[in-house]
Amino acid sequence: MRYGSYQADGLLIGSGPIEAAHRSVLQVRMKRSGQRWANHGCDHLLRLRVAYKSRKFDLVTQLLKNNQAKI
């Protein structure tokens, strides 16, 4: 990695932001009381959660509308 140029561009290069995102995006939602997840269900929910938190949820709803139109 070109740490110097990334820092000059104002980008974060440490693992701290990723670890914080893991806590806020994943653990808070997935570790609620009484929650149990199969691997495939967990994967689907995490993808939806990431789309929501990254403010790209409109892409998910558009995909769902497109798939529903095919049925």
What single string gives the DSSP state of each residue in 46-57? HHHHHHHHTT-H
Predicted TM-score (pTM) above 0.75:
no
Question: What is the rounded distance in angstroms from the CA atom of residue 71 to the CA atom of residue 10?
Answer: 46
Sign for the CA dihedral angle at 29, 43, 57, 18 comes to: positive
Count of CB atoms situated within 10 Å of the CB of 11: 10
pLDDT in tens, 36-59: 778 777 787 777 877 787 788 787
Cα gap 7→4, rounded to integer Å: 5
> What is the pLDDT at residue 56?
81
* pLDDT value at 9 more than 80: yes
